[in-house]
Every structure is written in structure tokens, then in C-alpha cells.
Amino acid sequence: MGAANLPCFSSLFGVFPLQNNAPNKFLPFSSILSKPLYRFNRICCGVPESGIQQNPSTSRPSSSKNRMEDYNLAMKKMMRNPYEYHHELGMNYTVIADNLIVGSQPQKPEDINFLKEEEGVAYILNLQQDKDVEYWGIDLQSIIERCKELGIHHMRQPAKDFDPDSLRTGLPKAVSLLEWAISKGKGKVYVHCTAGLGRAPAVAIAYLYWFCGMNLNTAYEALTSKRPCGPSKRAIRGATYDLSKNDPWKEPFESLPDNAFEDIADWERNLIRDRVRALRRT
């Protein structure tokens, strides 16, 4: 099944930055891997350690450095990957395509200004739980208010950090929100979790897989070749299984081989799309 008729991506791997008024052209994903790759783009707009609010009711470490060390240790242990998050460097992100950006958490309202002015972001999909935001001392309400002021649609679909089962459960609704935002064609969608290395890229990869005619491995490579990260492929396979084999007599996912649901038939993809789109109403 071709992807040219889907609101996927245009001019996928061009030179950064993209022009906000660039024409919207949709290309088949067969051309993805032959084009130049985007750079990894870091915006140094971090909050200094002295400016991070402390909340004595939480169990987080007392310093920004300790918070980052503990977070990165947990990420390495739970996700078994070498990637790290450096909060002090500010928000960082990667432009995946003309209408999709994957990145880390915005830390202050000025980050929202930047996303609007420099990238033409019209939607933000936040995958963090409240405790994630509190851990880093982020004033989420001020960020949401700035989104309202700038006409950015802010959405939340929380998933537990470092938890593939929580991610698997939440992927269909998160992809539903992403697909809806992209289909509107009003601007880029910024998908983020905390570090932009697990939950957010998983949602983007699942979207590529389910809606853009790619198999899982191709979708995974398309994103991670531009933004090095280690989202749970098993969580995406599990969510694919849940959506395409939603019947009481199905074989348990846990008993299937490790490569199960890395690809799907056209009828399964159509079924998944219908079920994901139906979640918009829930």
C-alpha cells in the first residue's frame, strides 16, 4: 500500500531549518532513506540550577546534577541503552519531517515562543505524567498558558517513564492524537516526553508504521537514524498486536516470537487505522 495519499511527510530529509511557508508536498516513504539526514538540533535555553524550584514534598534529589544522574542511571537500567538527557542544556529536538518534531520537554514559556516562531509548531503532544513534570521543577501551567496565547493546541496523553507496558497501552490513543493533528495540516506537531528518547519517539515510530506504509524496522530506522534513541520496539509490536488481533481467542503476545508484528498485512493496517481514528472520540 502506498503512502502518497496519506498526510505523512514531505521533503523529509532536507536542510535544516525548514521554511515555515514551504509548500506541503507528500512523498512516498520509499524515498526516505536515500535522502540527506536532518541534524540533531539542540537549543541551549536551559534553566540554571539556581532557578529550578525545589518541592520538599517530592522524593527527587536536591540538585539538578543529581536529578540528571539518577534519571540517566534509571534510563540505562530500564531501557538498556547508552543515551543520556542533559536538562541543563535546555530543550532539544529533532525535525523528523515537515510536519513532525520529536524532542525533550519544553522547560519554560520561552521555549514555546521558539517552537512557534522558528518551527511553525501548531500542536504539542505531551506524554509526561504529572510526577515527571514535578521532578524537574517545570511550571507546566505557564507553558500551557503560553500555548493558548500563541494559538498552539496543547494535548496530553501520559505514559509511565521507562515502562514498556504503560507505553504499549497508551500508544494507540497517543498516535490517534498525533494523526489527528497532522491531518489538520495547520502546522508542525511537537511530540515530547521528558528526554525525547523513549516515549515520544515510540509514538512517532508507531505513527510511521501504522499510517505511512512502513514496516516497523523501516520506521524505527527512519527515526533513530536522525535522532539517536532507544524506544521500546516490543511496546510498539505489542500495541500493534492489540489493535490488529483484538479477539478473545488470539494467541498471547508473550508467546509469540521476537519479530512478531514487525510487519502487517494491508487489511491489518486498515483495521488499525480505523481503530486508532475511532479513539479520537474517547
Q: Which of 44, 45, 147, 193 is catalytic?
A: 193
Helix runs in the chain, H state only = 64-79, 109-119, 130-135, 140-150, 164-184, 199-211, 216-224, 233-244, 266-278
Decide: helix, strand or coil at residue 5.
Answer: coil
- The reply to whether omega before 7 is within 30° of 0 (cis) is no
Q: Is 193 a catalytic residue?
A: yes
CA-CA-CA-CA torsion for 68, 188, 35, 8, nearest 10 degrees? 120
Question: Is residue 246 exposed (0-12), middle (13-18) or buried (19+ Cβ within 10 Å)?
Answer: exposed
**How far is 111 from 168, CA to CA, in rounded Å?**
29
Question: What is the set of active-site residues?
Answer: 193
